[in-house]
Amino acid sequence: MLYTRTGDKGQSSLYNGERRAKTDRIFEALGAVDELNSAIGIAHHYCKKSANGMDEQLIEIQCNLQDIGSNIATPRNDASETQLRNTAFDEGHIDKLEGWIDTLDS
C-alpha cells in the first residue's frame, strides 16, 4: 500500500508539487496516456509470441508515452528549468513513429 501522508481530499500533485483537483483535465489526459500505454503493453505481450518484429517498436512507444506523461504532469508556467529539461519531449520521436506508420501502411 502506498501512503503519502498528504491525504486525498479530491486532489493530487503534479511533478512540480502543485496540487490540483482530480477532476482537472490534466489528470484526464494522464489517464488517457496510461490507458494507451496499457493497451500497447497487451499488444506487446502478443507480438512477442509472433515473429513480426514489432515488439521493440512497442517498447519504444511505451517509453515515449512515459515521457509524454511526465511532460503533461509538468505545468509550463510554474516549473523550474530543471523540471522542464527533465520532462522535455523530443519531437523526433513523432517523426520516427510516423515513419513506422508509413512502413506498415505500404
Q: Give the model confidence (pLDDT) of 11-58 as tens digits.
A: 888 888 889 999 999 999 999 999 999 999 999 988 876 767 788 899
**Angle at CA 21, nearest 5°, toward 9 and 70?**
115
Task: Record the cell numbers describing residue 8, joined without a space.
Answer: 486525498
Question: What residues does each domain of the chain span?
Answer: 14-105
C-alpha cell of residue 97: 513513429
Is residue 3 pLDDT above 90, yes or no? no
Distance CA 6, CA 34 (A): 23
Chain centroid offset of residue 39 CA: 12
